[in-house]
Amino acid sequence: MATTTITPQAPWTPERIAEQTRRFYEIYTRDAAAIRARHAAQTAPEAAALRHKYQQPVFGEIPTWTLFEMMARVIDTADDRLYCTSQEIHILQVIEAMATDGMAREEFVLAALVHDLGKVCMLKGESAENATYMNSLLATADPGAGLEQCTLQWSCDDLTWSRLKNYLPPHVAWLVRYHGISPRESAPYMDARDRDYAERFLAPFQMYDLFSKSPFGRPRTRLEDYRPIIEKYLPPRIVF
């Protein structure tokens, strides 16, 4: 049965704000937890099927900037830190948190701009349980063999990496690909390069990616402000 979300427009009182916030919070967090649980249960055959599916373009060749504009329409329903906040806002919150800490080096800003771009596949009907959240290891190689030898669950991280890897500096491409792993789970399988990148890039990036999220954090900058960085690294049109 559908849950009624409309109440007669009484004035906003602290009680009404608290009541409505609690109700929406409960619905959202319950649904988000269910989506995350389904992603966590993604099996190796399901991941392989998604990897195969996304060898085909989602949009074909399209203006690169259009992809970034689409992020304003993407809401990650698995994310119970952002709630209905768009992925465009998420990008800006990450960058601004980095800037506050003096961490907004170009490589980190570039990673923040592109890291979740694959979530645009949800605008073409992909489910959030396939496209978002953390990725666990499905098959491991020998300890120390390198993450490239392991198989991860599939999500937008893989999609973003596969489309952008040829344009990004190697360490940024690596960061995009692995920004949703558990460092603790993956550490035994990392090779020397993985460990170096994990320490220098993944550890700080995950902190800003996760902990800058808020439905109340209004960005002070616009995506357009960072367009020169996008245009410096990515071509004007891209097959995505």
Residue type, 168: L
Q: Binders of Fe ion: how many residues, by CB under 5 A?
A: 2
CB of 223 to Fe ion, least distance (A): 14
Report the residue from 76, 79, 96, 116 that binds Fe ion according to the rule CB under 5 A.
116
- Does position 209 bind Fe ion by CB under 5 A? yes
> Of the listed pieces 13-21, 113-121, 215-223, 228-236, which binds Fe ion according to CB under 5 A?
113-121
Verify binding: residue 88, Fe ion, rule CB under 5 A.
Answer: no
Rg of the chain (C-alpha set): 19
Residue whose CB is less far from Fe ion, 53 or 81 = 81
Q: How far is the CB of 190 from Fe ion (least distance, A)?
A: 19
Q: How far is the CB of 39 from Fe ion (least distance, A)?
A: 12
Report CA 225 to chain centroid distance, whole Å. Answer: 20
- In angstroms, give the least distance from the CB of 158 to Fe ion: 11
> Could you tell me which stretch among 27-35, 78-86, 115-123, 222-230 binds Fe ion (CB under 5 A)?
115-123
Q: Residue holding tokens 């993956």?
A: 186
Buried b (16+ CB within 10 A) or exposed e, 162-192: bbbeeebeebbbbbbbbbbbeeeebeebbee
Q: Which residues of 46-65 are buried (b: 16+ CB within 10 A; e: fewer)?
A: ebeebeeebeeebeeebebb
Quote the CA–CA distance of 93 and 89 in Å, as a whole number: 6
The smaller minimum CB distance to Fe ion, of residues 116 and 129, is found at 116
Nearest CB to Fe ion, comparing residues 86 and 140: 86
Instruction: Evaluate whether 147 touches 183 at the Cβ level (below 8 Å).
Output: no
The phi and psi torsions of 230 (rounded to 5 degrees) equal: -60, -45
Pick 157 or 194: Cβ nearer Fe ion: 157
Residues that bind Fe ion (CB under 5 A): 116, 209
